Structure 1
Amino acid sequence: MPVKVLIVDDSSFFRHQIRAIIDAHPQLSVVGEASNGREAIDKTKQLKPDIITMDYEMPLMDGITSVRHIMNECPTPILMFSSLTLQGARVTLDALEAGAVDFLPKSYEKVSGSNSSLRQILVNKILTLARPVAKANARVPSTVEAPSASSRSKKKIYVQSFDLVMIGTSTGGPVALQKVLTQIPANFPAPILLIQHMPGTFTGAFAERLNGQCKISVKEAHDGDLLKPGTAYLAPGGQQMILSQKGKIRIMAGDERLNYKPSVDLTFGSAVKYYNRNTLAIVLTGMGADGREGARLLKQAGAVVWAQEGKTCVIDGMPSAIVKANLADEIIALQEISKRMIEVV
């Protein structure tokens, strides 16, 4: 049975273009359209789509308000379309916090192009986010966080000290990082490197938001930054973050052959030389397998690697890749990761 998609946008042109992309794929089907947030709520209840594509700037009711209502009344995975501006970044982060699972840049030129990479990205995201695991997580209110017996039973005792913590994530990462980092005390004794797949126009706004929410300091990383305990450094979108020496960050353009900018693999791998076994690397929710090869290098050096428990992920691709490669020292539910970080670091 095809994945049922509801398209929500006040632009009839954009709705038409998105419909054409979706209807051209044999595994997808448009079940309806809405031109404002209020109509989106009504049609979600009526049509019960598997996934919704949502604009944020609409008449009668904006996208963020609509997301909140939908997640409260009839939870459904929502893919937001966002402008690549500072304001667009802030609005998108609001939408993700309200319950949207992912976002895509909104471009009238790209969506109407005949050979657009956006078309394939859109299809892939819809197919992935509409899978049962995403839908199951979309239907669990963020305020309900039952403890995980499985993760409690797999705790280990580590003999080494941890001088560096690194966290890699993608889809679902902004909310997951918020849940983890807001529970970390200001006197946390190690620096934290954050690698989140995100456009360059978004990472500054995201770091600013986290810094306002957390007890530790959070900043977008800059070339030459010196690592300090109790500070988290967010890799800038569209660039690569590595360690050029112990305690010093280097930001660079990176190899065009790398699929991700920033790349979890690259940052993880760069820590091996300077921190080896005194590193704690954590892989959170996300599509794909970025982080697996970097984690493999870290494990060979004696470092510790954790993976987020699959049922607490929006998308279990990245953590699952770690687990399947037998690289995870612990598999931990999202709501328990901060507690474990405090215990071992």
Structure 2
Amino acid sequence: MRIAIANDMPLAVEALRRALAAEPEYQLIWVASNGEEAVSRCRDDLPDLLLMDMLMPGMDGVEATRRIMHDTPCAILIVTSDVERNMSRVFDAMGAGALDVVAAPSLGPQQVLDAATVRRKIHNIAWMIGHKTSRSVKPTPVRSTENRGKRLVAIGASAGGPASLVELLRQIPPDFPASIVLVQHVDEVFAAGMAQWLGSESHMPVRLAREGEVLQPATVLLAGTNNHLYLAPEGRLVYRPEPTDQVYRPSIDVFFESVATYWRGDAIGVLLTGMGRDGARGLKLMRERGFHTIAQDQASSAVYGMPKAAVTLGAAAEVLPLDRIAARLLERLG
């Protein structure tokens, strides 16, 4: 895997070099000291993955991510120190197309653990961009009567998702008659911050989904752990580590498939911008089970990977620009 680094701090670059050196399959191809240089280097020698810092002189990581995803798209992992203080910038970068974020490794006592965390993130992204398909087993439909008559919108997103989710949620009124469950590819360390940020930008409160809770109208829940979020047979939300072969978690496919299997009320599945194929198979199963399905169109997607996979599979009943999805939800469920 060809990897590049954009970081102006020599110690941070050295820590990343050491983390990459422990994995023979990782090849460091270049290092840029600021965002502008990273944009230029991507034009000349596009990496499979770019490890991008947030705070650099001149062009910062957010703007560099935005330009790279527009000009020469590639997988971008935000690697930055003091993630909590830079949370809004991190979500801006993810909205521009970055896949995930991880704390920068150190050269101190924690370097072995820090480096292993970075390598695990890289491994997850390699799985995602390698288009590995799900081998999860689809359970036999045994739908609960608990959610009969209720309405649900299940939304999956990855790269570019935060910005798309904000735009979508801003158009939904606070008295929306359905539950909304969001599955966004984000580490559990940052999930609470993302829920708070999404809530501050929309008309409804957004919080993390709790183990065992029952879905209620006019609520927005975000998958909040590194386990998969399921809709259980009795209609409650649960977290489980299985299927273990789904490296990226929470998996959109896993949640969509559980909705297709167990939800008794009306539901709409929505697959937004993202790299890879996660969500496409689950969306197809939802459509096959009689639920309405929507994929974001190419023009409005920061990364047209997951929606494209859904369209290719015939999983999407409709393909819509982002600014028309909320209106469609209101038409069908409002």
TM range (shorter): 0.7 to 0.9
For 2:137, the equivalent position in structure 1 comes to none
The equivalent residue for 1:286 is 274
Distance across 2 between alignment mates of 1:306 and 1:73: 27
Percent of residue pairs bearing the same amino acid type: 26
Matched, 1:101 2:98: yes
Verify: 1:330 aligned to 2:318, yes or no: yes
* Letter aligned with residue 195 of structure 2: A
Query: What letter matches 1:223 in structure 2?
Result: E
- Paired amino acid for 1:33: A
SS state at 2:231 partner: strand
Post-superposition offset of 1:164 = 0.9
Aligned-partner residue type, residue 288 of structure 1: G
Contact 2:97 2:159 in 1 (8 A): no
Taking the TM superposition and a 5 Å limit, the aligned residue runs for 1:245-284 are 245=233, 247-276=235-264, 278-284=266-272
Structure 1 residue 54 corresponds to structure 2 residue 42 = no
Deviation at 1:281, TM superposition (A): 0.4
User: Contact 2:100–2:186 at 8 Å: present in 1 too?
Assistant: no
Structure 2 counterpart of 1:185: 173
CA shift for structure 1 position 242: 1.6
Matching residue within 197, 213, 216 for 1:225: 213
Per the alignment, in what secondary structure is the counterpart of residue 10 of structure 1? coil
TM-score by length of 2: 0.73
Any residues of structure 2 matched to 1:1-345 within 5 Å, and which? 7-16=5-14, 29-30=29-30, 33-34=32-33, 39-41=34-36, 44=39, 53-58=51-56, 63=60, 67-68=62-63, 79-82=77-80, 86-87=84-85, 89-97=87-95, 99=96, 101-105=98-102, 106-108=104-106, 109=111, 116-117=119-120, 163-245=151-233, 247-276=235-264, 278-345=266-333
TM-fit CA distance, 1:83: 5.0
Structure 1 pair 217–117 and aligned structure 2 pair: CA distance change class (3 A) = closer
Superposition deviation, residue 102 in structure 1: 3.3
Distance 1:6-1:118 versus aligned 2 partners, 3 A rule: closer
Unaligned stretches of 5+ in structure 1?
Answer: 129-160
Q: Secondary structure at the match of 2:172?
A: coil
Which ranges in structure 2 are unaligned for 5 or more consecutive residues? 132-148
Shift, 1:95, TM fit = 3.5
Contact map agreement 1:308 1:332 (CA 8 A) in 2: yes
Aligned-pair distance for 1:68? 4.0
The 3 A distance-change label for structure 1 pair 247 and 184 is: farther
Query: What displacement does 1:278 show?
Result: 1.9
State the shift of 1:319 in Å.
1.2
Alpha-carbon distance between aligned partners in 2 of 1:72 and 1:295, rounded to the nearest angstrom: 30
In the TM superposition, what is the alpha-carbon distance from 1:225 to its structure 2 partner?
Answer: 2.1
Distance in 2, matches of 1:173 and 1:94, equals 10
Kept in 1, the 8 Å contact 2:94–2:159? The answer is no
Residues 197 and 260 of structure 1 are in contact (CA less than 8 Å); yes or no, is this contact kept in structure 2?
yes
Partner of 1:135: none
Q: What is the distance in 2 between the residues matched to 1:83 and 1:340?
A: 40
Distance verdict in 2 for CA 1:327–1:123, change over 3 Å: closer
Deviation at 1:306, TM superposition (A): 1.1
| Contact 2:36-2:58 within 8 A present in 1 as well | no
Displacement after TM superposition at 1:214 (Å): 0.7
Q: For 1:189, give the aligned amino acid.
A: P
Deviation at 1:328, TM superposition (A): 1.1
Per-residue CA distance 1:104-141 (angstroms, 9 max, x = gap): 4233547867x94555567788999xxxxxxxxxxxxx
Q: CA RMSD in A?
A: 3.9
1:252 and 1:122 mapped to 2: Cα distance?
21
Q: CA deviation at 1:297?
A: 2.6
Distance 1:43 1:71 in 2: 12
Cα separation, 1, equivalents of 2:190 and 2:35 = 26
3-state secondary structure, aligned to 2:283: helix
Aligned residues: 300
Q: TM-score, normalised by structure 1?
A: 0.71
Structure 1 126/19 Cα, relative in aligned 2: closer, same or farther at 3 Å?
A: farther
1:166 counterpart SS class:
strand
Q: Which secondary structure state, in structure 1, belongs to the residue aligned with residue 263 of structure 2?
A: helix
Find the counterpart in structure 2 of residue 136 from structure 1: none
